[in-house]
Amino acid sequence: MRSIADKIIITTNDYQRLTGLIGFSSLKEKMPEIVEHLHSKFRTAMMLPQDRIRASVITMNSRVLLREVSQGREATVTVTYPQDANGREGKISVFSPIGTALLGRQVGDEVSWKVPTGIGRFEVVKIIYQPEAVGHYHL
């Protein structure tokens, strides 16, 4: 597994959309830690055009299989824009701790975020669906 400190990869399209959303003052006021975490990730990110991103990278609207490191439990989630988030369907906002942690990571990476019982550590096992891998650039 790769360390959580490795540089992330993000599409230029995702970067532009997300920085546009981050620019809203209400988001900065409601979620200052998340906004700062995303800004920090973007400062060191490798940015690529949508048609150059590898299928092993988590982009916006990617559906991902995760495995909890300590217990081996698996979960499937989709990283979405806030308006599309729906916990029952496993659709998580990129502005949630898990969404922010996953964006730009790759298969084999270990990611962590705060959970009710402390810090959850998960491995990115598989990307089930990535829009760019199948030419869905409009999402």
DSSP 105-117: -BTTBEEEEEETT
Question: Is the CATH number 3.40.50.150 carried by domain 9-134?
Answer: no
What does pLDDT average to in each consecutive run of 10 residues of the chain (139 residues)? 68 94 77 85 93 96 97 96 95 94 96 86 97 88
The pLDDT of residue 113: 85
The pLDDT of residue 5: 54
How do the domains of the chain map onto residue ranges? Answer: 9-134
The pLDDT of residue 36: 86
The pLDDT of residue 47: 95
Reported as a single tens digit per residue, the pLDDT across 93-133 is 999 999 999 999 999 999 998 878 888 899 999 999 999 99
CA-based angle 76:60:104, to the nearest 5?
85
Q: How far apart are CA 52 and CA 111, in angstroms?
A: 24
Type of residue found at 85: A
The pLDDT of residue 139: 66
Query: How many of the other CB atoms lie within 10 Å of CB of 86?
Result: 11
Q: What is the gyration radius of the CA atoms in the chain, in angstroms?
A: 14
The pLDDT of residue 37: 85
Q: How far is CA 105 from the centre of its chain?
A: 7
